[in-house]
Amino acid sequence: MAEEINNQEDLLVMLDSLLREPAPFWNSFYKDREKNIPFFVNKPDENLVRYFDAGMVKPQKVLELGCGPGRNAIFLAEKGCSVDAVDVSEQSIDWAMERTKKCGIEVNYILEDIFMLQVEEATYDLVYDSGCFHHIAPHRRVDYINLIKRALKPNGFFALTCFVQEGNLGGSSMSDWDVYRKRSLEGGLGFTDQRLRKIFSEFGEIEICRMKDAAKTDNVFGVSGLWTALFQKLEPRI
């Protein structure tokens, strides 16, 4: 690859190389399945379960960004959703497929960088992201938002979980500019609820709240060091 910058995409790729964790990093991260990583458990997010239980979202076509070992994709499929689940790590996709096969359900797992993902416009009723967004550098946020808007059907929903700023799971409080001064995301960026509202201001806010803690014996995953947010795609005003 020629290290030249001739257009906007070349610039983004260069910045990616400085800041984003590459696929080999995530393959190494998921290789040891016995590590004490909270979200390695095979349980869905408590907020996602609540959305379904409360009728806030219904079985439909779903795109999951950064699916990891498949715990939320499996829940969605068990709820009757048609699920496309994307991750950049081959190790995580393999683990997710093993889990899914044991459950006797179907999920379409896609090994791909989300910014290289080809998505047909207005395909999905729900886009779900559990822990991907806080690993995305500021220069890719516009692309991230455009991907969601392109993927969602009119009035579709977008939901995510992400680090609370300086929360008990991490969540760096540094500014967007400091990301580039330090050439690091410091393990993942943290956010306030006000910051999330600003970033996703093009969407209608349904709720933003802290994830509820769940006990090890519960059938859901919950850690209060994460924000949970549910938004809806707004139709353009005529």
Strand ranges of the sheet holding 226-233, from the earlier edge strand across to the other edge: 108-111, 82-87, 61-65, 124-130, 152-163, 226-233, 203-210
φ, ψ for residue 84 (rounded to 5)?
-105, 120
**Is residue 8 assigned to a domain?**
no
Q: What is the pLDDT of residue 136?
A: 95
Whether 16 has a pLDDT exceeding 90, the answer reads no
Q: What is the pLDDT of residue 235?
A: 77
SS3 111: strand
**Is residue 184 assigned to a domain?**
yes
Q: What is the pLDDT of residue 1?
A: 58
DSSP state of 115: G
The CATH number of the domain where 206 resides is what?
3.40.50.150
Interhelix angle 71-78/46-53, rounded to 10 degrees, is: 10
Q: Could you tell me the residue range of the domain that residue 87 belongs to?
A: 48-233
**Is residue 20 assigned to a domain?**
no
**pTM listed for this prediction:** 0.94
Q: How many CA atoms lie within 13 A of 121 on its CB side?
A: 1
Overall number of domains in the chain: 1
pLDDT digits (tens, 9 = 90+) for 160-219: 999 999 999 999 999 999 999 999 999 999 999 999 999 999 999 999 999 999 999 999
**Is residue 6 assigned to a domain?**
no
**Is residue 200 assigned to a domain?**
yes
Q: How confident is the model at residue 18 (pLDDT cuts 50, 70, 90)?
A: confident
**Is residue 126 assigned to a domain?**
yes
Number of CB atoms found within 10 A of residue 134's CB = 23
pLDDT digits (tens, 9 = 90+) for 208-231: 999 999 999 999 999 999 999 999
pLDDT digits (tens, 9 = 90+) for 87-136: 999 999 999 999 999 999 999 999 999 999 999 999 999 999 999 999 99
Average pLDDT over residues 26-33: 90
Whether 143 has a pLDDT exceeding 80, the answer reads yes
**Is residue 119 assigned to a domain?**
yes
**Is residue 87 assigned to a domain?**
yes
What are the structure tokens assigned to 131, written together? Answer: 């822990």
Q: How confident is the model at residue 23 (pLDDT cuts 50, 70, 90)?
A: confident
